[in-house]
Structure 1
């Protein structure tokens, strides 16, 4: 699922992910639309912008997606300073602007983490959430 209020960027992300073999179950521009897609489609991953049409709601959205539905979240943001200290349960953040390879690497990282529970190698342009360090060296 893509949660991004810039329609052109959301379409570009959808194309990049589709070309990489991922199925995008929906795009949302605000918190309410994102919750509706999450409930209907049960995505495994959400790429979430911090600032959405309804304001600085990305962190609250991320926390609820992780806590209520177990959806992995990666923030996409031009304002990394607005991400809460604990990353609201998200796996990490990618700063805008980014390229196709960065998105593909971040999504692959999230997929590996979901399937193994291990951190492994963190992509170069993904800032991992601080809570991942608590998993210990055996999980890295």
Structure 2
């Protein structure tokens, strides 16, 4: 799992920094941190991330658009990390495999991404970490 290229898409700089530090400490390769939809798509084109953590509410942009592009164009396994996890219907069709509700502890992110990787590879992930849930394909 270490050395996996991860893209963080989060417009709150403090949350993004916490997540980045947690992932770096766990051995992940953070290939970029994007605060907007356009920035996320440009970084994805450049680095082709294997995994991504995506907030839905971006300023400017929409994380659902980002997730759909990441999954469809780059085969990236996407975890939504958002305060909008209760809007499951709005996440369907994006290709994201799971949602981690805000607020969350950034130290949980390495284990959450490990579960997302397994889910994207079609492996059984039961039980999921109790702080996140799977999205329907």
TM-score by length of 1: 0.84
* Paired residues of 1:3 and 1:46 also in contact (CA < 8 A): yes
Could you tell me which runs of 5 or more consecutive residues in structure 1 were left unpaired when the two chains were aligned: 132-140
TM-score by length of 2: 0.86
Give the helix-richer structure, 1 or 2: 1
Could you tell me which runs of 5 or more consecutive residues in structure 2 were left unpaired when the two chains were aligned: 1-6
Structure 1 stretches of 4+ moved >4 Å: none
Change (3 A) 1:18 1:85: closer
Structure of higher RCO (CA pairs closer than 8 Å, 6+ residues apart):
2
- Say which of 6, 10, 14 aligns to 2:16: 10
Q: How many pairs are equivalent? A: 129
Query: Higher Cα Rg: structure 1 or 2?
Result: 1
1:1-140, aligned counterparts within 5 Å? 1-55=7-61, 57-83=62-88, 84-86=90-92, 88-114=94-120, 116-121=121-126, 122-131=128-137
* Paired residues of 1:62 and 1:88 also in contact (CA < 8 A): yes
